[in-house]
Homo-oligomer: A and B are copies of this chain.
Amino acid sequence: MAAATEARIGIINVSDRAAAGIYEDLPGKAVVAALGEYLLSPWNSEYRVIPDERDQLTAAMAEMADDKGCCLIVTTGGTGPAVRDVTPEATEDACEKMLPGFGELMRQVSLQYVPTAILSRQTAGVRGSTLIVNLPGRPRAIRQCLDAVFPAIPYCVDLVGGPRLEVNPEVVKAFRPGEGKPAPASS
């Protein structure tokens, strides 16, 4: 395998209370920890804690994608039905293409734990060469969702023109059509 370009990954913790310093930024840390376990190829992060403001969120996604060269942006929080929850709307504003299969699978996985999983509006989409994925705000749910969708992420990043991400097959089975057998289905 060719040496990969160092991948840049954006992480946005969307939370009024974390942005105001009232809550500790546990969601962001959960994402960093998961990516650290998944990825074998070198990567670095762009990191933000942003209040639940649609315009600020869209601007942060655009900057991370267009100016900072992130191949992947992961958000946490702000996907529920409450009036301040606007992460999916900001993601749609930022993206040219939506990928409804991410939200469907994450809700299906979360439904195995809590019936309120159907309240999550989390989605994913593509802006230029950047994949943007919404995750929930609770650290345990973050990991459940990321474990479910990450097998498809390296190939998606390939398809949109990002760097090649190599993962640790003992932690997560990434699948690229044409490269060996698919991971066994988990559901």
Contacts and interface: CB of A to CB of B under 8 A. Distances in A.
Q: Which of A97, A107, A161 gathers the greatest number of chain B CB atoms within 10 Å? A: A97
Contacts of A97: 81, 85, 89, 121
Interface residues of A, number: 47
A101 B100 CA distance: 11
A42 interface: no
A47 interface: no
B116 A105 contact: no
A115 interface: yes
Interface stretch (A8-16, A18-26, A175-183): A175-183
B81 A119 contact: no
Contact of A116 (B83, B89, B152, B160): B152
A111 B81 contact: no
Copies in the complex: 3
B99 A119 contact: yes
Q: Which of A101, A108, A138, A185 gathers the greatest number of chain B CB atoms within 10 Å? A: A101
A137 to B, nearest CB: 11
A80 B156 CA distance: 9
A62 interface: no
Interface of A: 80-83, 85, 89, 97-105, 107-108, 111-121, 126, 131, 138, 149, 151-152, 155-156, 159-161, 173, 175-177, 182-183, 185, 187
Given A101-B107, A115-B185, A119-B152, 17 more contacts: A81-B99, A81-B156, A98-B121, A100-B100, A100-B121, A101-B118, A102-B118, A104-B118, A105-B111, A111-B185, A113-B185, A114-B177, A114-B182, A115-B175, A115-B183, A116-B177, A138-B177
